[in-house]
Amino acid sequence: MAKEKGRKLIAQNKKARHDYLIIDTYEAGLVLTGTEVKSLRQGRASLADGFVQLDGNEAWLHNVHVPEYSQGTWTNHSARRKRKLLLHREEIDKLESKSQETGHTIVPLALYFKDGRAKVEIALAKGKKEYDKRQTLREKQDRRETERAVSAVRRKQQA
């Protein structure tokens, strides 16, 4: 069987980018069972309520929903079990020191396969206030409107 190349996205947490200010991102491996990998290969997962917790010298991914594998037997996994993250010691230490600051948390942003291995992109993030969220949406809308105006002017010039 040929080895997979590239990055295949499984799930993305778009709400995290809306609710949090992303400070730093990390790529971590996942410790998974066989049925979890098969379920992920079918492209089924949800990061909506997920978060990362640091216990001692280990990082754990909580509340990520990976549905049971449809052809699985008694060896099937539970859908919302906690999963161990594979990070370097320096990364764990840095995340632990930064996450203890007020308002900081660690959230998963994306779950994907990279060269055949399951990876999760996690981010050190700071929660946004409601007015920050509105301001971000306003800036995004303004940027879209200016791009539309510029493209309309370019289209008129070409015609």
8 Å CB contact between 85 and 120: yes
| 36-54 pLDDT, tens digit each | 888 888 877 888 888 888 8
| 7-24 pLDDT, tens digit each | 888 888 888 888 888 888
Q: For the residues of 57-96, what is the DSSP string, one character each?
A: TEEEEES-B-PPPTT--TTPPPTT--EEEE--HHHHHHHH
> What pLDDT score was predicted for residue 86?
92
> What pLDDT score was predicted for residue 89?
92
- Answer yes or no: is pLDDT of 77 > 70: no
Please give the DSSP secondary-structure letter assigned to residue 6: S
Closest CA to 114 of 90, 75, 86: 86
Query: What stretch of H or E contains 54?
Result: strand 51-55
Structure pTM? 0.74
To the nearest whole percent, how much of the chain has pLDDT over 70?
91
